[in-house]
Amino acid sequence: MSADLHAIVATRLHADGQRYTPQRRRLVDILARAGSPLALPQVLRGGRGLAQSSVYRNLVALERAKVVSRVLTEEEFGRYELAEDLTGHHHHLICENCGTVEDVTIPAPVEATMRRTMTKLAGETGWSTVGHRLDLIGTCRDCG
């Protein structure tokens, strides 16, 4: 799967006129290995010799290429994960206390109902919807 992942990422970056450099490959590996959204310090810890500013720049580049997405929590900083269409559609459990974020999926029927409702809703309000974000706020096993 790793090889496929890199191939897809390469394609998307090239489609956006960008290169798939070693550092970007490392970032993708780090995020893929993590399996849940990482804050910047965690990303830096994931690989030695990464310059903070370059990591930020590369995350922006990867985000523009639809390879990575920035996740918002209650914390004062962002977290990053691989784009949904690379890992599968999912939602987040966010711990109010320690900020940890964990991925979850909800039953397909519920998901479908929600999606239908939202599309309809968007139409009624005159907006065009491109997606949704559903987060569960609570306390994790360790903090609960």
Partner DNA sequence: CTCAGTGCAAAGGATTTGCATGCCG
Partner DNA sequence: CGGCATGCAAATCCTTTGCACTGAG
By CB under 8 A, name the binding residues for a copy of itself. Answer: 70, 72-74, 93, 95-96, 102, 104, 106-107, 110, 113-114, 117-118, 121-122, 125-141, 144
List, in order, residues 6 or more apart from 139 with CB less than 8 Å away.
Answer: 95, 96, 97
Residues 57-76 that bind DNA (CB under 7 A): 57-58, 60-61, 76
Beta carbon of residue 4, minimum distance to DNA (angstroms, whole number): 19
**Minimum CB separation from a copy of itself for residue 12, in Å?**
19
* DSSP of 30-88: HHHHH-S-EEHHHHHHHSTT--HHHHHHHHHHHHHTTSEEEE--SSSS-EEEE-HHHH-
Cα angle 58, 37, 9 (rounded to 5 degrees) comes to 45
User: At closest approach, how far in Å is the CB of 132 from a copy of itself?
Assistant: 5
Tokens of 77: 């900083």
Which CB sits closer to DNA, 7 or 114? 7
Q: Which residues in this chain contact DNA in the complex, by CB under 7 A?
A: 17-19, 21-24, 39-40, 49-54, 56-58, 60-61, 76-78
